[in-house]
Amino acid sequence: MTRKKTGNNKYLKELNQKVLLDLVRIHGAVSKAELAEWTGLTPTAVGVISGSLLEMGYLHETGTGESKGGRRPVLLELRSESFYSIGVDIDVRTITAVLMDIKGSTVREELVEFPEGADFETAGGIIVDMVGQLTKQAAISPERLLGVGISIPGMVDSETRSVVLAPNLGWRDADLQTWLSRHFTVPVYVENEAMASAICENWIGSCQGINDFVCINIKSGIGAGIFTGGKLYRGAGGSAGEVGHIVVDENGPRCGCGNYGCLETMASTAYVVEKARKLVRQGIVSSLNTYEDTDKIGMEEIIREARKGDEASRGILNEAARYIGIAISNIVNTLNPSRIVIGREFVQYGDLVMEQVKNVVSGKALKAPASRVEILASDIGEKASMLGAAIIPLKVLFGR
């Protein structure tokens, strides 16, 4: 009979370490007695584990806590200048990167233009340079870097972490993770953009402490990152959250996926812009008509005119929002999340259409889950996927 390691068969010793470290992170400053109390481990065991965490530099001792009778206990705290992480977001025209400390605070950021249509090795070269720059500028030695997370606007294989397909970048089977791993001594984590955003919302955004939520990213494409039971849910192949292909109108236009009326064809910013240009060409009454070159009408112009009160611009945004509401109703019935946060470009006009989204959901979703869900626009917005990528190495450290 062959003996296999099974899912729950983690090394308990390492798990114990991570649990203690995470308790310190969550509570800010704690005594060893508290750690023993919360974990059920013996004071001796807590002493041994926290001793090695101090020695490795993750923690330092600070002040003294309240006495419970005897002498005042020393408190343990994360050392913010101990270890760091880097997060990178690859988008169609830019690559952005952030250096983050162990506590999740941004130390510095970088932005580099990315030649549209360039291959993944080109992106890899740029990332190697950016990571070099960031660590050099902040004077961080390589052994203090925990890892590099990369956010990709595409589907990432759940096992190999290779980019299966990133339509907007023109990449297919692009194994950026292996390529980068050859250039770095620290671990590299490639993650889907919407999933990275969800990680960010959960760690430092509006879904902290929320176990079951969905983070929907709306820009030229639409995708979601799903958390179930406090953990990112990637699905069997890594493509969970493709909510852009929920069919919201069977009679809608053909989608790149082959279906008709997918959410992405009815509510992405690309569709909103296309629709606005079409209406202007058809001579609709709208202040958008004042733009001489119809092709120059983009989301910025539509949102600006909508804010000034232009009915046509508002109508276009509201129609898109209605479809977002239909898709969310579906998600609410299937997943019963307690929160849905909508991010990326949506945050620029979320205030104009949020009521419409909520009205559709309360009209279409089942009463019980609809009454439990809070729908809101992301506070973090555009940077969420970059910050989320930086958080991945931290999550590994804290066993989350």
Find the binding residues for a copy of itself in span 204-233 (CB under 8 A): 211-212, 224, 226, 228-231, 233
Whose Cβ is closer to a copy of itself: residue 56's or residue 257's? Answer: 257
Q: Which residues pair with 385 in a beta bridge?
A: none
Q: Which of residues 282-321 bind a copy of itself (CB under 8 A)?
A: none
7 binds a copy of itself (CB under 8 A): yes
DSSP 145: E
CA angle, residues 266, 307, 222, in degrees to nearest 5: 25
Q: Which of residues 234-253 bind a copy of itself (CB under 8 A)?
A: 234-243, 245-247, 249-250
Task: Tell me the closest approach of the beta carbon of residue 369 to a copy of itself, in angstroms.
Answer: 5
Task: Tell me the closest approach of the beta carbon of residue 236 to a copy of itself, in angstroms.
Answer: 3
Determine the 3-state secondary structure of 388 from DSSP: helix
CA angle, residues 117, 118, 120, in degrees to nearest 5: 125
- Judge contact between 252 and 239, C-beta under 8 A: no
Whose Cβ is closer to a copy of itself: residue 69's or residue 229's? Answer: 229
Whose Cβ is closer to a copy of itself: residue 96's or residue 177's? Answer: 177
- Judge contact between 96 and 389, C-beta under 8 A: no
Task: Tell me the closest approach of the beta carbon of residue 368 to a copy of itself, in angstroms.
Answer: 5
Task: Tell me the closest approach of the beta carbon of residue 91 to a copy of itself, in angstroms.
Answer: 21
User: Count of residues for the chain?
Assistant: 400
User: Binder to a copy of itself among 82, 336, 348, 354 (CB under 8 A)?
Assistant: 336
335 binds a copy of itself (CB under 8 A): yes
Which amino acid type is present at position 363? G
Task: Tell me the closest approach of the beta carbon of residue 164 to a copy of itself, in angstroms.
Answer: 6
Whose Cβ is closer to a copy of itself: residue 24's or residue 99's? Answer: 24
Q: Residues near 232 by Cβ (< 8 Å), separated by ≥ 6?
A: 195, 198, 199, 202, 225, 226
> What are the backbone angles phi and psi of residue 75, rounded to the nearest 5°?
-100, 145
Determine the 3-state secondary structure of 238 from DSSP: coil
Task: Tell me the closest approach of the beta carbon of residue 241 to a copy of itself, in angstroms.
Answer: 7
199 binds a copy of itself (CB under 8 A): no
User: Binder to a copy of itself among 372, 376, 382, 396 (CB under 8 A)?
Assistant: 372
Q: Residues near 315 by Cβ (< 8 Å), separated by ≥ 6?
A: none
Task: Tell me the closest approach of the beta carbon of residue 26 to a copy of itself, in angstroms.
Answer: 6
- Judge contact between 102 and 394, C-beta under 8 A: yes
Pick the piece of the chain touching a copy of itself (CB under 8 A) from 97-105, 114-122, 195-203, 254-262: 254-262
- Judge contact between 389 and 196, C-beta under 8 A: yes
The footprint of a copy of itself on this chain (CB under 8 A) covers a number of residues equal to: 75
Q: Which of residues 19-78 bind a copy of itself (CB under 8 A)?
A: 19, 22-23, 26-28, 30, 34, 38-41
Task: Tell me the closest approach of the beta carbon of residue 255 to a copy of itself, in angstroms.
Answer: 10
369 binds a copy of itself (CB under 8 A): yes
Query: How is 65-128 classified by DSSP, letter by letter?
Result: ---SSSSPPEEEEE-TTT-EEEEEEE-SSEEEEEEEETTS-EEEEEEEE--TT--HHHHHHHHH
172 binds a copy of itself (CB under 8 A): no
| CA distances for 387 relative to 14, 125, 329, 395, angstroms | 26, 20, 28, 12
Q: Which residues pair with 224 in a beta bridge?
A: 216
Task: Tell me the closest approach of the beta carbon of residue 325 to a copy of itself, in angstroms.
Answer: 12
165 binds a copy of itself (CB under 8 A): yes
Task: Tell me the closest approach of the beta carbon of residue 7 to a copy of itself, in angstroms.
Answer: 6
Task: Tell me the closest approach of the beta carbon of residue 98 to a copy of itself, in angstroms.
Answer: 26
User: Binder to a copy of itself among 97, 155, 303, 316 (CB under 8 A)?
Assistant: 155
User: Binder to a copy of itself among 62, 294, 338, 348 (CB under 8 A)?
Assistant: 338
Taking each helix axis from N to C end, the angle separating 311-335 and 350-364, rounded to the nearest 10 degrees, works out to 50
Within the chain, what is the greatest distance between any pair of CA atoms? 82
Q: Which of residues 91-120 bind a copy of itself (CB under 8 A)?
A: none
Taking each helix axis from N to C end, the angle separating 269-281 and 299-308, rounded to the nearest 10 degrees, works out to 70
Whose Cβ is closer to a copy of itself: residue 115's or residue 230's? Answer: 230
User: Binder to a copy of itself among 121, 195, 373, 376 (CB under 8 A)?
Assistant: 373
